[in-house]
Structure 1
């Protein structure tokens, strides 16, 4: 890379870090091209980005951002993954790491909070953003459904009582 290309790369990576909420750092020592392509496809399908970057350039891009705390993790052959949905990145990376022992998650950063491997695993266990939204909508709709059921119950009970009296009167009339 020439000096201008390096500057442009650092600027574009810094722009990415300014817009994202989570950055994951992983070690990718010994991954084949097919493995990296497979990982990139999985990341893209989950709405995430994956980039192998020189550690020095990545450190320069991280300087001055909220993710500056992950700079010490940038040693050896590392790669960065990011997305606005932190859970998607963590889940995708950890699922890939289970099937490929050459891909090792080192940690990450969620805003200014630096996470170790255990923190990334805990993040991956959370439900996705879409699942949380669906659960929230369900919680909002539930009270309305219950209120409607409660309001209908007295009318239903009254109708059942009147029907019982009508049957009782019919039975008494037939017996007489």
Structure 2
């Protein structure tokens, strides 16, 4: 590879590292081209799967401010750059690895920290972003519905209470100090 090609590859990898929400490193040794195409399709929107030389990947990661991947950059390495829903891409990798044991998840990088292979697999157990947002919205709606019911019940309960008080006062005026009787006295002037 010519020096200018290496510089372009490093710049491209650095940009992908910088713009990705997460990166997963895998060993692809033994996978056919057709299997890798199937893998790329299973990752979902916003994810790219690319094979890169370890030395160039190491340089690009360091230039992007990512440290700690050196021990994972051993042997054939392919990179999954994930932009968007990390759980969906992690599920795609996990499910593909179940069907194709030649794909081995080495680890990854997300939110400023290096992830082990087990942590990447735990990401795959998360529900998708859309499902989590739907659950959040449902929970918020339920709480708002309960609040609306409480607020609408207060005036109704108050009206029933005042009605009962009025009926009781009509039967026994002493309950509220002579309710229902007109006062013969004129109100006193507060200014006087």
* TM norm structure 1: 0.80
Matched residue, 1:90: 90
Aligned to 2:143: 143
| Alpha-carbon distance in structure 1 between the residues aligned to 2:75 and 2:89 | 21
Counterpart for residue 24 of structure 1: 24
Give the unaligned 5+ runs of structure 2.
161-192
Could you tell me whether the CA contact under 8 Å between 1:86 and 1:110 is conserved in 2?
A: no
Which segments of 5 or more consecutive residues in structure 1 lack a partner in the other structure? 160-176
**Residue of structure 2 in register with 1:41 after alignment:** 41
- Rounded Cα–Cα distance in structure 2 between residues aligned with 1:52 and 1:24: 12
Deviation at 1:111, TM superposition (A): 2.5
Correspondences of 1:120-135 after superposition (within 5 Å): 120-135=120-135
Q: CA deviation at 1:20?
A: 1.4
The within-5 A match list for 1:67-82 is 67-82=66-81
Query: Does the residue aligned with 1:6 lie in a helix, a strand or coil?
Result: helix
How many residues are aligned here? 159
Contact 1:90/1:121 (<8 A) preserved? yes
Question: Which of 1 and 2 has higher RCO (CA within 8 Å, sep 6+)?
Answer: 1
Whole-angstrom CA distance in 2 between matches of 1:133 and 1:67: 30
* Structure 2: distance between partners of 1:5 and 1:65: 19
CA RMSD of aligned residues (A): 2.2
Q: What's the offset of the Cα at 1:122? A: 1.4
- In 2: Cα distance, 1:64 partner to 1:127 partner: 33
Name the structure 2 match of 1:2.
2
Contact persistence 1:11–1:61 (CA under 8 A): yes
Bigger radius of gyration, 1 or 2? 2
Measure how far apart 1:47 and its partner are.
2.7
Measured against aligned partners, the alpha-carbon deviations of 1:14-67 in whole angstroms (never above 9, x if no partner) come to 011111121100000110111011111112x34311111111111111113343
With normalisation by structure 2, the TM-score equals: 0.74
User: Hey, what does 2:58 align to over in structure 1?
Assistant: 59
Q: Secondary structure at the match of 2:38?
A: helix
Task: Give the drift of 1:136.
Answer: 2.0
Larger helix proportion, structure 1 or 2? 1
